[in-house]
Structure formats: C-alpha cells, structure tokens
C-alpha cells in the first residue's frame, strides 16, 4: 500500500525473487528474476498483482535476465548457460513470439575449453552446498586449487557461460590442477537463512565449508590432500589468507589479491550490514581479522595489490605485512603501484597471470 502497510503476499516457497525487472501496473504483472527452478539458475517470470499467479517466460535452465519495453509488450532477454554463450531474444510477453536478436558464434569447441562440472557437497551441519569442478585430463589424484570468493551478496556457482569462460581456472586445469569453486554458507542466492550464517562472524563458517569440500574431494580420491592451494580477490583475497591461517594443515599455498586485512578499516556501509559495529561486536571483529591470526601462517603466500586501489585500500596489505613481519612469517609481494583493484591494462593482466601460475607451479606441483 502507499502508506507502507502490507496488503498480501504474492509469492512463497523454498526459492527467491532475486530481483524485480519491472512493475507493469496497467497489465497487472510484476516481472522478476527468480530461483524457482533451481538456485543454480535464474528464470524470467511474471507474477500477477491480483492473485499471485506465476508465468515463466524464459527457456528451461541457464541464467536469464530481461528488460521490459515501455508498452509492456516485449522483453529483451539475455540468456546463457554453461554450454551456451549469451544470446539476446525478443520475447512477446503474451507468449506469441520469440525472435533471436543476437546469437554468438563462440562455442566450447571454438575456444577449446570444457564446461565445469556442477556438483554438491555437504557442510558440517548437513546443508547442501553447490560447487563447480574444472577437471584436468590427466589421471588423479590431482593437486587442488580452490578458487574462492566466499563473501555475502555474491554467488559464483551458476549454470552460466561466465563460469565456463573463467580462463584462469580453465588454464590451471589444463596445467594439471583440479580447480574447485564452492558457494559456502553466507553467500547469496539461497535465501536469508543461508546468507545469515555470516552474521557477526566473518572469516569462520566460510573457511569451515570450503575445508569440508576439500576433505570430501580427498575422501573420494580425486585430490592429493598434501597439495592444496587457494586463490581469490577482494573478499576472496581475505578468504585466501584466512583459510591459510585457520587451516594451515590443509592450505599450503595461497595467492591473495587485494585482501581486507581487518574489517575495522573497510567500507562501513558494507561491513556493518553483516558485522555490526566494532563497539557492539568487538570479538567478531577481532576473530575476523587477519592481523589477529598472522602468527599462524605456515604456507607459501603471495600478496597482490594495486597501489591506488579505491575499494580495498593498499593500507590493508600494508597492515598485514606489518603483522606478518612482527610474527616472523615469510610472504611474497607483487605490487602494481599505478593500478586499482586489479590490473586493467593488457600487459599488467598478462604479467599477473604468469606470476600466479608460476607461484603455484613452484610451490605446489
């Protein structure tokens, strides 16, 4: 209602409305993205304002998004999947017509990659977790590289072309590593209860879930548990280091890009949404800080950071270096003085990728 009071609930169930595309009051429909088919997919659907009836407008499977025309008669829909590059289709909202506007000529064969394998893992409490495996062609058990993000408000494992064309993961798999991406508890796409596991305790449950998945791969004989590495950027950079500090027995080599070293120095609009303030959650901030646990580092760690990073300021890596030095712990540093959150020029990106690959080859193979 206009005064903010609730009139009625239109949708319910074990799935999410992931975003509202448009509200068409004239026709009585709300156009949305939903996970009604699977948390690994995004449907384009419309919900009746009058009775909550739901109509699916996208094809089965994959990742779909759309924009609605001003007259409410057409959707411009972008779609992709693990095996199909993005297409743009003009879809009549009454279901009468579909017309392809753009179709890529890129295919798995043309870029010589294989789509990652989607599978499930189990968290310590029995929660189902979704992961993606990039498999090498060689016989196992393989060295494992965990490509981690781990933070809230993001989902990395989806039936989407973007997962397939992660060229770093694809290259490392071609070099003989098994590469795993896992969406741990606390990440997006699975509802509030799933994401709320991180509340006031960043750097804990994420590491537990990632570690559990690694152990499951070892139990299945797919990996060599003595050769496990981890890499990530931003929250994934934070997770890389925290994984090495909390589970030094498991994670032997890490490449950490632009890590948040202490949540008291990051964007408060982001941090306090999940952690509260340092005043009302002192223990959570202390336990979630890399600085607190710096003396536990045992493995080989490469830190990468841009000198003018406007998101995670270089001060975070500087503070971590200070803590590691005080603890007499060895580390390696790759700094890009004139770059932001990651290198953006071609030469810088290529140099970074060579350094990442060589670091794992040197310390993990």
* DSSP class per residue in 227-262: EEEEEEETHHHHHHHHHHHH-TTT--EEEEES----
What pLDDT shows up at residue 6? 75
Q: In whole numbers, what is the pLDDT of the chain averaged over residues?
A: 95
pLDDT(241) > 70? yes
50 token code pair: 């009058």
Give the mean pLDDT of 94-120.
95
What pLDDT shows up at residue 4? 78
| pLDDT-derived band at 256, boundaries 50, 70, 90 | very high
| pLDDT-derived band at 293, boundaries 50, 70, 90 | very high
Q: In the chain, where does DSSP find H-type helix? A: 108-111, 161-164, 167-174, 192-195, 205-219, 235-246, 268-275, 282-287, 315-326, 346-363
pLDDT(2) > 80? no
Q: Give the angle subtended at the CA of 104 by the CAs of 102 and 109, to the nearest 5°.
A: 160
Q: Which of 5-19, 59-73, 82-96, 188-202 has the lowest mean pLDDT?
A: 5-19
What pLDDT shows up at residue 78? 97
| pLDDT-derived band at 57, boundaries 50, 70, 90 | very high
Catalytic residues: 234, 309, 341
Q: The whole model's pTM is what?
A: 0.94
What pLDDT shows up at residue 5? 80
pLDDT(201) > 80? yes
Q: In this predicted model, which residue has the larger pLDDT, 345 or 40?
A: 40
Give the mean pLDDT of 302-312.
94
pLDDT(346) > 70? yes
What pLDDT shows up at residue 30? 97
Rounded Cα distance between 200 and 285, Å, is 8
Give the mean pLDDT of 292-303.
98
Distance of CA 9 to the CA centre of its chain: 30
% of the chain beyond a pLDDT of 90: 93
| pLDDT-derived band at 106, boundaries 50, 70, 90 | very high
In the block, tokens 């712990």 appear at: 329
Rounded Cα distance between 133 and 114, Å, is 11
Rounded Cα distance between 360 and 355, Å, is 9
What pLDDT shows up at residue 83? 97
What pLDDT shows up at residue 1? 67
| pLDDT-derived band at 133, boundaries 50, 70, 90 | very high
Give the mean pLDDT of 29-46.
96
Give the mean pLDDT of 223-251.
97
pLDDT(327) > 90? yes
CB 232 within 8 A of CB 239: yes
pLDDT(259) > 90? yes
CB 33 within 8 A of CB 43: yes
| pLDDT-derived band at 29, boundaries 50, 70, 90 | very high
Q: Indicate the burial class of 220 (C-beta count within 10 angstroms; 0-12, 13-18, 19 or more).
A: exposed
Tell me the backbone φ, ψ of residue 144, rounded to 5 degrees: -110, 135
């Amino acid at each position: 209602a206009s005064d903010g009071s609730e009139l009625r609930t239109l949708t319910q169930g074990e799935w999410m409305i992931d975003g509202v595309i448009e509200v068409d009051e004239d026709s009585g429909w709300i156009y949305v993205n939903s996970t009604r088919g699977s948390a690994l997919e995004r449907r384009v659907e419309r919900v009746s304002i009058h009775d909550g009836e739901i109509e699916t407008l996208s094809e089965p499977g994959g990742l779909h998004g759309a924009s609605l025309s001003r007259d409410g008669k057409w959707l411009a829909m972008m779609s992709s999947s693990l095996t199909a590059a993005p297409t743009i289709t003009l879809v009549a909202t009454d279901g009468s017509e579909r017309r392809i506007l753009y179709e890529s000529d890129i295919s798995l064969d043309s870029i010589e990659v294989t789509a990652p394998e989607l599978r499930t893992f189990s968290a310590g409490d029995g929660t189902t977790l979704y992961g993606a495996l990039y498999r090498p062609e060689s016989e196992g058990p393989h060295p494992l590289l965990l490509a981690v993000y781990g933070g809230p408000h993001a989902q990395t494992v989806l039936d989407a072309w973007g997962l397939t064309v992660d060229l770093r993961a694809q290259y490392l798999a071609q070099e003989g590593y098994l590469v795993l991406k896992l969406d741990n508890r606390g990440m997006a796409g699975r509802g509030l209860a799933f994401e709320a596991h991180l509340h006031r305790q960043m750097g804990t449950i994420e590491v537990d879930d990632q570690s559990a998945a690694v152990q499951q791969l070892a139990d299945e004989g797919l990996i060599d548990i003595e050769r496990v590495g981890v890499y990530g950027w931003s929250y994934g950079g934070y997770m890389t280091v925290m994984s090495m500090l909390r589970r030094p027995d498991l994670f032997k080599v890490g490449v950490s890009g632009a890590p948040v070293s202490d949540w008291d120095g990051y964007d408060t609009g982001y941090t306090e949404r999940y952690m509260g303030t340092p005043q009302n959650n002192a223990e959570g901030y202390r336990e979630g800080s890399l600085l607190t646990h710096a003396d536990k580092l045992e493995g080989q760690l490469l830190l990468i950071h841009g000198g003018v990073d406007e998101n995670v300021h270089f001060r975070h890596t500087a503070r971590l270096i200070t803590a590691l030095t005080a603890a007499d712990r060895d580390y390696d540093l790759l700094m890009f003085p004139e770059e932001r959150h990651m290198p953006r020029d071609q030469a810088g990106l290529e140099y970074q990728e060579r350094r990442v690959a060589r670091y794992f080859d040197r310390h993990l193979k």
